[in-house]
Structure 1
């Protein structure tokens, strides 16, 4: 069977329908599944075919709202909520232990969650909260779940880990490795740190692909510009207006150089990264508009030495050696 060519306007539904046979029977854990976000749409479409979709969030009330909406949208889907605060290493360990105790195997891990920006804030672990949520929490979670993921590997299936990054990584100088362990307000801006976090996603994916030696396939991606939760937060408006993404009143700028996608279009590239069979020999790659786009990675996020250094620093910060 010839596979369709995907593009900017491809929807998550179209991708899921194309690879329905690959999604069936799979168990998927996905972070960042609040309503009015591409994570919710990704989970909804996967749930049409998957055996189990584990949705996560740090707020039980919001998590239950997502679960109820998913069950309403996809009657019969098996949706399991998991309390997970990625900004807390202790909370990540607790959630990982819960997942490792599940009787079901785990096939796909999708890192979609991001902190919503705002003022400089340290976590209980002394980390800047955006980087904790985007890099250190996901690093620890992946490390702790890696044995469960690897256990499902076979000659016909390799587990995948997907990182939802952003073209925003192009708008900054890359990850400030020197200040990750000891962040200070002097080195912080909301959008600057967001750009760093998205650069870290790409570096982590490429290094995970390299170090796992084929036991795990890892991919990062730019989902597109979507008028979702984070873009609607008041404290992000000034930056987004300055970039030309939003109008001064906070509405989407239809004349922006960043063309907007629907939620369905925004979730599509994540589905491709998680299930497209054409990516089997492309582990570590970056996707954009549902296709490979390694040429669009900023040099600072394509540097293998930077990826190795970020990995080593992450191991020190979470106090765990990540080996395969």
Structure 2
């Protein structure tokens, strides 16, 4: 069967329509699904076709609003809420226990949630907030529900895990594994931490695919730049304005960056989650709805994915 080509202006809804037959019958879990987010748009586009969409977040009221918005558009959609705070290892363990109690397997896990690019902040576990929320929490969550994911495998289908990264991973000057374990506020720079976390997400998907030996396929996705609620959080506004990413009147700075709409930004996630043409490309990195080269030599060390994996295992205190 042939499918159309996609590009930077493709929307999530367009991708979902093309792969509607692939999505049907699938159970999909999407993290970070507050209104005005890429995760919400991802869940919304999937919900009209999927058997089940699990939406997650750490704020129960925002989760309720997201569910209501999806159900108002697609009344027959099967939407389930899951409270999940990826910045807390204990909260991740609680949420994973709930998922493991579901009667259904998980065909697709989409790691969309991320911490805002803010000032240095420690989590309850003493980790730096961005690396904890963007990488370590998702790693532990994936590990703890891996049996649910593997249960979706059949003779004709292999489950997928998708992690959102960023085109800005190319600016990461390596990944400081020692600082990941023992964060030093004096070394912290907001965008440096972001770039490292997003680089690590790419390596996580590469190593997950390798270690799964065909049981799970991992993909990393650069969604592009879109104005969402994460840039408009009070604790990060000064950073985004000072970096000229958004203007003082809270508008996208279109002189400095090329911006996408939220539906356009969510499209690549759906390609990674459902496009059968990726079946023979586990571990691939996608940008603008297509497989792309990882930019920047700093994360291409062949040993780095394995060392990153071991470092995270040390942090969470258990092996995957």
Q: Establish whether TM, by shorter chain, passes 0.5.
A: yes
Work out the CA distance in 2 between the residues paired with 1:234 and 1:95. 27
- Residue of structure 1 equivalent to 2:303: 305
Gaps of 5+ in 1: none
- Residue of structure 2 equivalent to 1:43: 43
1:197-276 counterparts in 2 under 5 A? 197-241=197-241, 243-256=243-256, 258-276=257-275
- Residue of structure 2 equivalent to 1:183: 183
1:103-182 counterparts in 2 under 5 A? 103-182=103-182
Work out the CA distance in 1 between the residues paired with 2:61 and 2:250. 27
CA contact (8 A) 1:286 1:297 kept: no
TM-score by structure 1 length?
0.95
Question: Cα offset for 1:251?
Answer: 1.2
Work out the CA distance in 2 between the residues paired with 1:261 and 1:200. 24
Gaps of 5+ in 2: none
Work out the CA distance in 1 between the residues paired with 2:287 and 2:239. 23
Residues 100-148 of structure 1: CA deviation (Å, up to 9, x unaligned):
1111111100000001132212112111111110111101000011111
Q: Which deviates further from its counterpart, 31-40 or 229-238? A: 229-238
Work out the CA distance in 2 between the residues paired with 1:299 and 1:199. 11
Pairwise CA RMSD:
1.4
Q: Which deviates further from its counterpart, 169-178 or 47-56? A: 169-178
CA contact (8 A) 1:13 1:268 kept: yes
CA contact (8 A) 1:300 1:306 kept: no
Question: Cα offset for 1:320?
Answer: 1.4
Work out the CA distance in 2 between the residues paired with 1:91 and 1:137. 9
CA contact (8 A) 2:119 2:236 kept: no
Corresponding residue SS for 2:205: helix
- Residue of structure 1 equivalent to 2:290: 291
Work out the CA distance in 2 between the residues paired with 1:240 and 1:170. 19
CA contact (8 A) 1:107 1:160 kept: yes
Residues 159-201 of structure 1: CA deviation (Å, up to 9, x unaligned):
0000011112122213211111111211112222111111111
Q: Which deviates further from its counterpart, 21-30 or 61-70? A: 61-70
Work out the CA distance in 1 between the residues paired with 2:234 and 2:144. 35
Residues 10-41 of structure 1: CA deviation (Å, up to 9, x unaligned):
11111111110000000001100000111100
Work out the CA distance in 2 between the residues paired with 1:62 and 1:175. 33
Structure 2 residue 53 is the aligned partner of structure 1 residue 59: no
Corresponding residue SS for 2:116: coil
Number of positions where the alignment pairs a residue of Structure 1 with one of Structure 2: 320
Corresponding residue SS for 1:312: helix
Work out the CA distance in 2 between the residues paired with 1:226 and 1:254. 11
TM-score by structure 2 length?
0.96
Question: Cα offset for 1:241?
Answer: 4.4
CA contact (8 A) 1:162 1:218 kept: yes
Work out the CA distance in 1 between the residues paired with 2:235 and 2:251. 14
